[in-house]
Amino acid sequence: MVASYSVNPDAVAQAEHLIDSRQYVLDSDWGKVQPRASDQNAYLKRHSWDDYARWHLGLTEGAADETKARYAFIYGDFTRIHRMGIIACMYRAAEWRHKEVELAAHELLQRLDRLTALRPDRRRLGPVPLQVRHQVHGALVREEQPRAVDGDHAGRAGDGVP
- pLDDT tens track for 100-149: 999 999 999 999 999 998 655 555 454 434 333 344 444 444 433 333 33
pTM for this entry = 0.73
Residue 44's closest CA among 36, 84, 85? 36
Structure-model confidence comparison of residues 70 and 124, the more confident one = 70
Structure-model confidence comparison of residues 30 and 154, the more confident one = 30
Q: How far apart are CA 77 and CA 71, in angstroms?
A: 15
* Predicted pLDDT of residue 2: 84
Q: Is 109 found in the same domain as 83?
A: yes
Q: How far apart are CA 80 and CA 33, in angstroms?
A: 11
Q: Is 91 found in the same domain as 111?
A: yes
- The domain of 19 spans 5-115
121 is a domain residue: no
105 is a domain residue: yes
* Predicted pLDDT of residue 151: 38
Q: Is 100 found in the same domain as 58?
A: yes
* Predicted pLDDT of residue 99: 98
- How many structural domains does the chain have? 2
* Predicted pLDDT of residue 118: 64
Contact 67, 82 (CB under 8 A): no
Q: How far apart are CA 11 and CA 111, in angstroms?
A: 15
